[in-house]
Amino acid sequence: MTLVHLIEALYPSLEGTIITDEPFPCPLTMHFPDDGGEMVVSNWNGEQVWKCTGGCAGDEWKDGKQFIVQAMGLGSLTASHLFLQLTNLADHEERVCYIEENWPHWFTAGKVAP
């Protein structure tokens, strides 16, 4: 599972739209609509990392576990567990189903539409 797959699982409306090294509107909820915050996913030392131009996660590049912490507000241990579980799932639908089963309000709490 790549970071792109992770973002697409948490934000299914982005599935198929994220291109490595191409900015896209940051899906994290700390942004106001149309505030211009853009996220970029890039490859660095064999790992995909992300950064937001809106500063929602500081100035450093972050990894997939840190994306879960920022997006879902989970602690690092829970985020690491979720990351590992999603890594072991074969496809997008399985990852979305896992999130729905274990965090049933994620897609219905106004954060994101499945």
Sign of CA dihedral 71, 73, 101, 2: positive
Pairing status of strand 24-25 against strand 38-44: antiparallel
Does residue 84 lie in a domain region?
yes
Is 39 within a domain? yes
pLDDT in tens, 1-26: 999 999 999 999 999 999 999 999 89
> Is 30 contained in some domain?
yes
The three-class DSSP label of residue 16 is: coil
Question: For 57-98, how does the pLDDT look when each residue is reduced to its tens digit (9 = 90+)?
Answer: 788 999 999 999 999 999 999 999 999 999 999 999 999 999
Quote the domain boundaries for residue 65: 3-102
Residue 114 lies in a domain: no
User: Structural domain tally of the chain?
Assistant: 1
E strand or H helix that includes residue 27: none
Please tell me the distance from the alpha carbon of residue 1 to that of residue 4, in angstroms, as a whole number: 8
Is 35 part of a structural domain of the chain?
yes
